[in-house]
């Protein structure tokens, strides 16, 4: 059987493969028929060469052309929604409804539309003008292709081709070299087919979006470190992320990683007394969403082990004892969960519910509730802050609020952290102690809400300090902020008026673009 072609410089052509692979149906554990190539270094170099040329071409395209492409791409995705959803369902076993059809696909199209709108609007460039000195600066494309590594857990919204990273990179004027996740290659191929059609229709460089399905690790490392690469976006495991980070860092290439988070949830004592059972229901719902395969899954729950705390544990136990709601997307995740649980047990964690894989068929794992005493957590905080995908979470029993605070002190970098507190203010003193400690280590702090469920709005931050990501100043979700990952800041000093990019000329190019002129955010022209 022939391997599926890759998309290089606008052409579908056979890979020069160094291997091949098939995806699995997670609900049966059986490999799917389509055979995909593991690309070689030659494939990568060809993509880089085409991407480097496309970067220069794309930098000269009007934003309206880029926006037009993205809008068409979003429209075609919606038109072909049923096909995309069906293929993604085969490859991930995520429910068609509500997950794929009603949540993830609309979000995917919406992100692309928002990116298009941002490209058209141009305010994302944060044009800054010192009018008297004729010094003008703005964000612009990087000058080389952006490499996007898609993760296993969002076949659509974080797809290497159809997901938010690719859309943000292109909206900022960069071509993309997508490295699809091997868990859902047919879904990725389908996105790339749609994208390639849209590129051809909209006067875009044909190498704006290229696709390889898989790479050997060493070829991935050389790709992110290549002199022609503009930057890399990676969403995936910490182990793989750290290796890519090392290679990119050494080469001085920006890399944005979203590589693990346990998203601690603090339940303060009066809130626990007030509504512990409701919070247990929130926890289980959040934790079991997508069978626990969310970057923002609450993986650590800290509370005082008093009477109310014990009632909370009983309520949670009851909920977690249900059979699992879905499958893990790949066979590796079962091993990951088992290893994490074994390590935590060595550090005195105990299993309250689950802890083992389910009987076949498919990649199933029992809902798992672990617990550890705060003093044991504090002895090995790193072991309890290893992300493991699956409906599994660790309850941290604190004897008192001082130990809760000590746990907050010991936390590493996370994407999000929640604090549940009493509705009438009874926890407010403790909130003021814990919040600054939590805030130091997270990209997003929540009140009375679990961390799953990201609204794709400009104020969202899906980021946070290392090791949740590689840099605390960026976000992977939220347009236009997410585009700034794929942008270079450039100044035009004494450049003649007719040579300035439109965005920096005296006349506002759209009449609506926001610019910071002499200290004032305005959509007016520069008055000379």
The catalytic residue positions are 258, 295
> Hey, which residues does 524 pair with through a beta bridge?
none
Q: Which stretch binds a copy of itself (CB under 8 A): 96-104, 155-163, 210-218, 461-469?
A: 461-469
DSSP assignments along 196-231, one per residue: HHHHHHTT--GGGEEEES-B-HHHHHHHHH-TT--E
- Which residue stretch of 184-192, 200-208, 271-279, 513-521 sits at the interface with a copy of itself (rule: CB under 8 A)? 513-521
* Least distance CB 380 / a copy of itself (angstroms): 16
228: contact with a copy of itself by CB under 8 A: no
| Beta strands at 442-447 and 414-420: parallel, antiparallel or unpaired | parallel
**Burial annotation 20-44 (CB, 10 A radius, 16+ → b, else e):** eeebbbbbeeeebebbbbbbbeebb
Of 12, 34, 492, 525, the residue at the interface with a copy of itself (CB under 8 A) is 492
Among 490, 510, 525, 526, binds a copy of itself (CB under 8 A): 490
Shortest distance, position 124 Cβ to a copy of itself, whole Å:
11
Give the number of residues in contact with a copy of itself, rule: CB under 8 A: 77
509 contributes a contact to a copy of itself by CB under 8 A: no
Complete DSSP assignment for 273-297: HHHHHHHHHHHHHHHHGGGG--TT-
Buried-exposed string 320-346: b where 16+ CB fall within 10 A, e elsewhere = beeebebbbbbeebbebbbebbebbee
424 binds a copy of itself (CB under 8 A): no
SS3 state of residue 73? helix
**Near a copy of itself in 250-279, by CB under 8 A:** 250-254
Residue 350 phi, psi (nearest 5) = -125, 150
- Is residue 439 a contact point for a copy of itself (CB under 8 A)? yes
Residue span binding a copy of itself (CB under 8 A) among the ranges 324-332, 386-394, 397-405, 441-449:
441-449
Q: Which is nearer to a copy of itself, 326 or 443 (CB)?
A: 443
Q: Is 293 in the site for a copy of itself (CB under 8 A)?
A: no
Q: Is 139 helix (H, G, I), strand (E, B) or coil?
A: strand
Query: Which of 32, 35, 45, 59: binder of a copy of itself (CB under 8 A)?
Result: 59
Judged by CB under 8 A, which of 32, 96, 484, 526 binds a copy of itself?
Answer: 484
Nearest to 439 by CA among 466, 413, 420: 413
Span near a copy of itself by CB under 8 A; candidates 9-17, 54-62, 349-357, 394-402: 54-62
Rg of the chain, C-alpha, whole Å? 24
362 φ, ψ (degrees, to nearest 5): 90, 170
Place of tokens 């979006």: 209
Candidate segments 32-40, 77-85, 343-351, 435-443, binder of a copy of itself by CB under 8 A: 435-443
Q: Which of 30, 56, 102, 200 binds a copy of itself (CB under 8 A)?
A: 56
Q: 386-415: which residues touch a copy of itself (CB under 8 A)? A: 413
**With binding defined as CB under 8 A, does residue 179 bind a copy of itself?**
no
Structure tokens at 489: 């800041």
Pure H helices in 93-237: 105-121, 164-171, 185-201, 217-225
Name which position in 499, 511, 527, 528 contacts a copy of itself (CB under 8 A): 499
Query: Distance between CA 272 and CA 448 in Å, rounded?
Result: 11
With CB under 8 A as the contact rule, which of the stretches 86-94, 138-146, 261-269, 396-404 interacts with a copy of itself? Answer: 138-146
**476 is a site residue for a copy of itself (CB under 8 A):** no
Q: Which of 249, 277, 502, 506 binds a copy of itself (CB under 8 A)?
A: 249
Is 489 a residue that touches a copy of itself (CB under 8 A)? yes
- Contact string (CB under 8 A) for a copy of itself, positions 148-167, x = contact: --------------------
Instruction: Give me the sheet containing 11-13, strands edge to edge.
Output: 11-13, 6-8, 209-212, 176-179, 146-149, 231-235, 255-258
The Cα–Cα gap between 275 and 280 comes to 9
294 binds a copy of itself (CB under 8 A): no
**Binding a copy of itself by CB under 8 A: which of 19, 143, 331, 381?**
143
Give yes or no for residue 95 binding a copy of itself (CB under 8 A).
no
62 is a site residue for a copy of itself (CB under 8 A):
no
Convert 161-184 to b/e letters by CB count within 10 Å (16 or more is b). Answer: bbbbbbbbbbbbbbbbbbbbbbbb
Q: Can you read off the two tokens belonging to residue 525?
A: 């022209």
Q: Does the protein bind a copy of itself through residue 76 (CB under 8 A)?
A: no
């Amino acid at each position: 059987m022939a391997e599926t072609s890759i998309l290089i410089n606008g052409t579908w052509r056979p890979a020069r493969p160094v291997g091949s692979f098939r995806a699995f149906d997670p609900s049966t554990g059986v490999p799917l028929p389509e055979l995909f190539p593991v690309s070689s270094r030659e494939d990568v170099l060809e993509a880089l060469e085409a991407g480097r040329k496309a970067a220069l071409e794309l930098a000269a395209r009007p934003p309206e052309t880029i926006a037009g492409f993205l809008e068409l791409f979003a429209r075609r995705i919606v038109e072909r929604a049923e096909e995309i959803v069906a293929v993604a369902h085969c490859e991930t076993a995520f429910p068609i409804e509500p997950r794929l059809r009603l949540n993830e696909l609309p979000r995917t199209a919406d992100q692309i539309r928002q990116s298009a709108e941002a490209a058209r609007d141009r305010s994302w460039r944060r044009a800054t003008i010192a009018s008297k000195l004729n010094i003008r600066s703005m964000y612009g494309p990087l000058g080389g292709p952006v490499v996007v590594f898609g993760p296993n857990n969002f076949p659509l919204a974080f797809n290497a081709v159809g997901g938010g990273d690719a859309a943000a990179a292109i909206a900022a004027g960069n071509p993309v070299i997508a490295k699809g996740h091997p868990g859902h290659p047919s879904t990725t191929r389908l996105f790339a087919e749609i994208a390639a059609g849209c590129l051809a229709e909209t006067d875009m460089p044909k190498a704006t979006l290229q696709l390889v399905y898989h790479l050997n690790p060493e070829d991935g490392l050389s790709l992110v470190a290549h002199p022609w690469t503009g930057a890399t976006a990676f969403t995936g495991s910490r182990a793989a992320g750290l290796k890519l980070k090392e290679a990119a860092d050494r080469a001085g290439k920006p890399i944005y990683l979203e590589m693990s988070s346990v998203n601690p949830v603090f339940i303060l004592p009066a809130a626990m007394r007030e509504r512990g059972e409701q919070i247990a229901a929130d926890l289980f719902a959040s934790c079991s969403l997508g069978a626990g395969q969310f970057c923002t899954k609450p993986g650590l729950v800290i509370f005082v082990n008093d009477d109310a705390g014990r009632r909370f544990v009983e309520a949670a136990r009851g909920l977690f004892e249900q059979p699992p709601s879905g499958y893990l997307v790949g066979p590796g995740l079962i091993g990951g969960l088992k290893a994490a649980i074994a390590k935590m047990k060595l550090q005195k964690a105990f299993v309250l519910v689950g802890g083992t894989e389910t009987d076949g068929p498919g990649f199933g794992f029992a809902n798992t509730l672990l617990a550890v005493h705060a003093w044991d957590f504090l002895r090995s905080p790193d072991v309890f802050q290893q992300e493991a995908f699956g409906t599994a979470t660790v309850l941290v029993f604190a004897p008192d609020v001082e130990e809760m605070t000590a746990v907050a002190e010991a936390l590493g970098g996370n994407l999000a952290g929640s604090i549940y507190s009493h509705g009438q203010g009874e926890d407010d003193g403790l909130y003021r102690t814990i919040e600054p400690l939590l805030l130091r280590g997270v990209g997003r702090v929540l009140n009375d809400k679990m961390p799953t469920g990201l609204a794709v709005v400009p104020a969202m931050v899906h980021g946070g300090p290392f090791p949740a990501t590689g840099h605390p100043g960026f976000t992977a979700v939220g347009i236009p902020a997410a585009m700034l990952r794929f942008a270079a800041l450039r100044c035009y000093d004494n450049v003649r008026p007719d040579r300035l990019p439109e965005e920096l000329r005296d006349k506002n190019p759209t009449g609506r673009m926001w610019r910071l002129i002499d200290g004032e955010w305005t959509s007016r022209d520069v008055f000379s």
